[in-house]
Amino acid sequence: MSERPSTERASGTDNDADDGPNTTRRTFLKGSSAAAGMAALGLQGTDPANANDTDDADEDDDGGDDGPTNVILFVGDGQGRAQLDLGRYLKSYRKNSEKFPLNAADVTYNVDRHDAHGSAMTYPDDPEEFVADSAATATALSTGHKSYNGAIAGVKNDAGEFVPKQTVLEQARDMGYAVGLVTTARMTHATPASFASHVPSRDEEEKIAKQYVRDSGVDVLFGGARSYFLPDGRENDSANLVAEAKRNGYNYVTTASELDSLDSAPALGLFSESDHLSYTLDRQDDDDSTQPGLGAMAGTAIELLEARGGRKGFFLLVEAGRIDHASHSNYPVVAHEQLEADDVIGRLLDYAEDSHGETSVITTADHETGGLSLGTGGPYDVNFDVLDGMNASTATVVPQIEEAESREEVASIMAEQMGVELLDTELDELRAYNTPVAEILNERIRIGWTSTGHTAENVPTFATGPNAEFFDGTVDNTDIADAIRKRLNGD
Amino acid sequence: MSERPSTERASGTDNDADDGPNTTRRTFLKGSSAAAGMAALGLQGTDPANANDTDDADEDDDGGDDGPTNVILFVGDGQGRAQLDLGRYLKSYRKNSEKFPLNAADVTYNVDRHDAHGSAMTYPDDPEEFVADSAATATALSTGHKSYNGAIAGVKNDAGEFVPKQTVLEQARDMGYAVGLVTTARMTHATPASFASHVPSRDEEEKIAKQYVRDSGVDVLFGGARSYFLPDGRENDSANLVAEAKRNGYNYVTTASELDSLDSAPALGLFSESDHLSYTLDRQDDDDSTQPGLGAMAGTAIELLEARGGRKGFFLLVEAGRIDHASHSNYPVVAHEQLEADDVIGRLLDYAEDSHGETSVITTADHETGGLSLGTGGPYDVNFDVLDGMNASTATVVPQIEEAESREEVASIMAEQMGVELLDTELDELRAYNTPVAEILNERIRIGWTSTGHTAENVPTFATGPNAEFFDGTVDNTDIADAIRKRLNGD
């Protein structure tokens, strides 16, 4: 059983006082399914109906050193220092806007609860490029091999041929662990793909889907974009991979409520049509959304994997995939994605503290995206009230503005959805260029970006569980794969 | 005696193989005086004549728990994650440009050698501003009190009056520790000032100089800008503070060679006329420079403080002050400042490992400056060959270009001093605007900036020595003052 963090700071999530350190696994799972997203937004905690359902945990409280070994790798795609800190301060602002900013001891930001704190180098092994893409970095995390940008779980040999490399997920599967992949991005996107498929280019998403279903043996796959698995959405062949998965025994689900009812693996959950899941803020703001939050997916995955892994245990990748997309687009909504990530990290750490057996949680990023900074030229300020006032992402609002028929309508959309009363000059700008919504918000909030691509700084890296101290300091991203392999081997 | 880092990575500085873990204090001191700057540039290590001078260390090897307590606070002004990583990769490039980039295990970057790794929150207590300046942050580090931007070691009470707060240096002094301040910035600049003076505004540098000499009791003061201490340079009174200091027993020095000959405190070293010391690269490139490097100043300070502190020990602030200035100006030379910082941090850690008694080294920053990122829009690359080819800072080259009389002369200056053959379009740009040298280099190197001011991300923070584990995680900058006080109290 892993030790609780040695820090005296309160564990548990601040947004969710009733769902703190004593949270049971069952509570985490069901609670997160219904409430993770809401809790991330500070709205509501666990469903009380489930909060009392602690029977499972009590029954399981006979573990110890002989219990299962679990390894959970949380990847915030694009989650650099500034992204984390933007989320930290928004959480602080929401906890107490009057006393904002709160001292580090007065707001629990969940990455701080890890036992070990350090950073990871992200550079690829690419003859042309020093800044990594998500394929090369996920390949480093999954296989322990640096590779070229675009590579999915393989390297090029001297003859230029693609050579697949075994991933930590595949090793775990072969050793009898239950294995799973959870992401808010497309299921076939580079990060999850690099753990359970092998292709020379990340663009081969139809092949990735095929390898998932036919070759990977992954017990739980939860993410977006079912079109890559269905005949209508596939350009290169008309394989119905959903039907194949079902024939192979997979439970297939497409909505949050179906996810909530899932009771066994193998399971395939594809919760959007052809792209990533929506940004957290849009999911929350849309009563008709059938998409689950990352916490719901991760919680259900753990429940299913725990049952399937038995005494052996499980390996699970959880990716907060849309931090990266928000950062590519220089959207301030990256802060809200970080709040969802924080909520999930908190619940993973609760689970690690609570579980029998030994659970390692490693939290890292593949790279930073956007060159984000808190503060930019001019006044020394960052306006968290503006960030807090946003009710939807720029991705949702821009199409509405493009369709707006009057200046007044644009003003009204921005006021209602973004919480800002535009100046006349800003309205002129918005009408003239049609889409600089993010620029106006960035300027108002006062956050800066240097890029719409990735950057090469080390990414903050954290770990909890046996041998977590390895992560105290600077490691290479390939070292993370090695550390996971050691845990799987019981070292 | 503090433990050596638990990591298996080699200790010692890579640039300086003969000056590794077995370095004696004496070697550090004399060696650094002559060679720190050169070592920082990968040119040369310790003077062999001194490397064998281990007598002092042998004689002192009878210490243990009864020995002195030393606390060294290293502040990289403006040293954010990206600044550190830019230095890390330049060091890696210089170690082996053919195999660049080297794995984390193959290049020793000295911040990684600390026992504890975390980050510190930097926000001020300012009604108007969320992003901190160096006065508010230095006041937080020195007194444990958040204050407003501009405050030097004090806060405003409800009536708006300035209330001085005791600093850790003053506490140390009052307890019988020897105390010192070392910086590459002006001696009277906000960071050192906040440890040994109290004024409502950082701009009151003449008052700061007066308080240093008349009130502070600081045993060692090494930095830039003697004009603030001399009658000709002072606007508000004609006090000759150098003369006063001498009358009070201070040894006064103004050149690197005089520094090298210093053999006792109290000592006042002011190594430039009216501004900060030069950028490292310019100091190295100028045979006529009489300015010492940061390593020489820190090394001599430790030698003098060690003698003066006796069995009690010492407190020393070492500031790499020009990381901030390079970042304000968006100058790529920030990388070379980080190399000097790395060299000094390595030597401080060598000292902590080697010293009898207990030495704590805390390495942090006051804030990030510039919103630096490695990589910016467009190609996924960072060109360390360009960074490595620079022979002078932009600060030196810009005036030369402004005085150049022909296009050819500009091209020649840029080729010789900056190592870049300019394109015709770049030459046009340079002639038209006169000074975008930094922009051209940033574009060539591919580093990005969001600001010419500060930003609000947490700053990387490290510690070695007793109770270093406090720094594993996120702390507030005020917590650093509290941790120092505890060490001074023997906790």
Does residue B29 carry a pLDDT above 60?
no
CA-nearest of A76, A119, A134 to A323 is A76
Q: How far apart are CA A351 and CA A13, in angstroms?
A: 13
Residue B156 burial (C-beta neighbours within 10 Å; 0-12, 13-18, 19+): middle
Of A238-242, A289-293, B3-7, B181-185, the least confident: B3-7
Does residue A403 carry a pLDDT above 90?
no
Q: Is the CB of A456 less than 8 angstroms away from the CB of B382?
A: yes
pLDDT band with cut points at 50, 70 and 90 for residue B51: very low
DSSP-based three-state secondary structure for B169: helix
Ramachandran area for residue A16 (φ above 0: left; ψ -120 to 50: alpha; else beta): beta
Torsion of CA B154, B158, B159, B163, to 10 degrees: -20
Q: Find the residue in B nearest to A457 (Cα).
A: B82
Q: How far apart are CA B146 and CA B138, in angstroms?
A: 9
Q: How far is A156 from chain B (nearest CA, A)?
A: 17
Among all chains, which residue has been given the structure tokens 């719409």? A452
Q: Is the CB of residue B453 less than 8 Å away from at least one CB of chain A?
A: yes
Residue A313 makes CB contacts below 8 A (sequence gap 6+) with A67, A68, A69, A70, A71, A177, A178, A357
Q: For A111-152, what is each residue's pLDDT tens digit?
A: 999 999 999 999 999 989 999 999 999 999 999 999 999 999
Does residue B57 carry a pLDDT above 50?
no
Q: Is the CB of A453 less than 8 angstroms away from the CB of B375?
A: yes
Give the DSSP H/E element, type plus range, for residue B347. Answer: helix B334-354
Q: Is the CB of A149 less than 8 angstroms away from the CB of B380?
A: yes
Q: What integer pLDDT is reported at residue B11 of this predicted model?
A: 36
Q: For B382-398, what is each residue's pLDDT tens digit?
A: 999 999 999 999 888 88
Chain B CB contacts of A117 under 8 Å are 117-119, 472-474
Secondary structure in 3-state letters for B424-450: HHHHHHHHHHCCCHHHHHHHHHCEECC
User: What is the token pair recorded at B1?
Assistant: 């005696």
Q: How far is A20 from chain B (nearest CA, A)?
A: 20
Q: How far apart are CA B363 and CA A400, in angstroms?
A: 49
Distance of CA A117 to the CA centre of its chain: 19
The overall average pLDDT reported for chain A is 87
Q: How far is A294 from chain B (nearest CA, A)?
A: 25
CA separation, residue B204 to residues B55, B151, B176, B207, B210 (Å): 45, 10, 29, 5, 10
B216-241 in b/e burial notation, b at 16+ Cβ within 10 A?
bebbbbbbbbbbbbbeebbeeeebeb
Domain ranges of chain A: 17-372+451-488, 384-448
Q: Indicate the residue of A117, A123, A129 with minimum beta-carbon distance to B472.
A: A117
Q: How far is B191 from chain A (nearest CA, A)?
A: 18
Q: For B342-354, what is each residue's pLDDT tens digit?
A: 999 999 999 999 9
Residue B160 burial (CB count, 10 A): 6
Q: Tell me the residue type at B481.
A: A
Q: Is the CB of B376 less than 8 angstroms away from the CB of A451?
A: yes
Residue A89 makes CB contacts below 8 A (sequence gap 6+) with A100, A101, A374, A382, A384, B456
Q: Is the CB of A381 less than 8 angstroms away from the CB of B129?
A: yes
Residue A461 makes CB contacts below 8 A (sequence gap 6+) with A117, A118, A119, A120, A362, A363, A364, A365, A471, A475, A480
Q: For B222-237, what is each residue's pLDDT tens digit?
A: 999 999 999 999 999 9
Task: State the number of CA atoms in the 13 A half-sphere of A210 facing the CB.
Answer: 14
Residue A459 burial (C-beta neighbours within 10 Å; 0-12, 13-18, 19+): buried
Q: Is the CB of residue B101 less than 8 Å away from at least one CB of chain A?
A: yes
CATH 1.10.60.40 fits A384-448, yes or no: yes
Q: Indicate the residue of A85, A114, A453 with minimum beta-carbon distance to B377.
A: A453
Q: How far apart are CA B453 and CA B457, in angstroms?
A: 13
User: What is the token pair recorded at A467?
Assistant: 């041998």
> Phi/psi at A313 (nearest 5 deg)?
115, -165
- A134 among known catalytic residues: yes
Question: Which residues on adjacent β-strands are paired with residue B267?
Answer: B220, B251
Residue B152 and residue B136 in contact, taking contact as beta carbons nearer than 8 Å: no
Residue A381 burial (CB count, 10 A): 17
Q: For B292-334, what is each residue's pLDDT tens digit?
A: 999 999 999 999 999 999 999 999 999 999 999 999 999 999 9
Q: How far is A117 from chain B (nearest CA, A)?
A: 6
Section B432-451 average pLDDT: 86
User: Which of A134, A197, A216, A327 is flagged as catalytic?
Assistant: A134
Residue B260 makes CB contacts below 8 A (sequence gap 6+) with B30, B33, B34, B292, B296, B300
Section B122-139 average pLDDT: 96
Q: Find the residue in B nearest to A133 (Cα).
A: B380
Q: Find the residue in B nearest to A384 (Cα).
A: B130
Q: Are strands A373-374 and A447-448 parallel, antiparallel or unpaired?
A: antiparallel
Q: How far apart are CA A241 and CA A200, in angstroms?
A: 21
CATH topology agreement for domains A17-372+451-488 and A384-448: no
Chain A CB contacts of B101 under 8 Å are 121, 123, 130
Q: Is the CB of B81 less than 8 angstroms away from the CB of A458?
A: yes
CA separation, residue B246 to residues B214, B241, B249, B251 (Å): 11, 8, 5, 6
pLDDT band with cut points at 50, 70 and 90 for residue B285: confident
Q: Is the CB of residue B474 less than 8 Å away from at least one CB of chain A?
A: yes
pLDDT band with cut points at 50, 70 and 90 for residue A285: confident
Q: Is the CB of B448 less than 8 angstroms away from the CB of A455?
A: yes
Q: How far apart are CA A291 and CA B329, in angstroms?
A: 47
Distance of CA A41 to the CA centre of its chain: 16
Q: Indicate the residue of B116, B373, B379 with minimum beta-carbon distance to A457.
A: B373
Chain A CB contacts of B104 under 8 Å are 121, 474-476, 479
Q: Chain A window 341-380: which residues touch B at a Cβ cutoff of 8 Å? A: 368, 371, 373-380
User: Which of B32, B134, B194, B272 is flagged as catalytic?
Assistant: B134
Q: Indicate the residue of B85, B118, B448 with minimum beta-carbon distance to A451.
A: B448
Residue B17 burial (CB count, 10 A): 11
Q: What integer pLDDT is reported at residue B435 of this predicted model?
A: 55
Question: Which residues on adjacent β-strands are paired with residue A359?
Answer: A70
Torsion of CA B444, B450, B456, B459, to 10 degrees: 0
Sequence-ordered strand ranges (E) for A255-376: 267-270, 314-320, 358-369, 373-374
Sequence-ordered strand ranges (E) for B288-357: 314-320
Q: For A173-201, what is each residue's pLDDT tens digit?
A: 999 999 999 999 999 999 999 999 999 99
CA-nearest of A184, A181, A168 to A213 is A181
Sequence-ordered strand ranges (E) for B104-230: 116-121, 154-156, 162-164, 178-186, 220-224
CATH classification for the domain delimited by B17-372+451-488, as one of 3.40.720.10, 3.40.50.300, 3.40.190.290, 3.30.360.10 = 3.40.720.10
Q: Is the CB of A105 less than 8 angstroms away from the CB of B476?
A: yes
Q: How far is B280 from chain A (nearest CA, A)?
A: 23
0.90 surpassed by complex ipTM: no
Q: Is the CB of residue B127 less than 8 Å away from at least one CB of chain A?
A: no
Cα Rg of chain A (Å, integer): 22
Q: How far is B122 from chain A (nearest CA, A)?
A: 10
CA-nearest of A462, A12, A77 to B118 is A462
Q: What integer pLDDT is reported at residue B434 of this predicted model?
A: 55
Chain B CB contacts of A382 under 8 Å are 130-131, 456
Q: For B238-257, what is each residue's pLDDT tens digit?
A: 999 999 999 999 999 999 99
Of A213-222, A417-426, B112-121, B474-483, the least confident: A417-426
Q: Is the CB of residue A149 less than 8 Å away from at least one CB of chain B?
A: yes
Query: Which of A100, A445, A455 should be substituted to probe chain B, the one whose Cβ sees the most B Cβ atoms within 10 Å?
Result: A455
Of A405-414, A474-483, B265-274, the least confident: A405-414
A44-76 in b/e burial notation, b at 16+ Cβ within 10 A?
ebbbeebbeeeeebeebeeeeeebbbbbbbbbb
Q: Is the CB of A121 less than 8 angstroms away from the CB of B104?
A: yes
Residue A100 DSSP symbol = P
Sequence-ordered strand ranges (E) for A244-346: 251-253, 267-270, 314-320
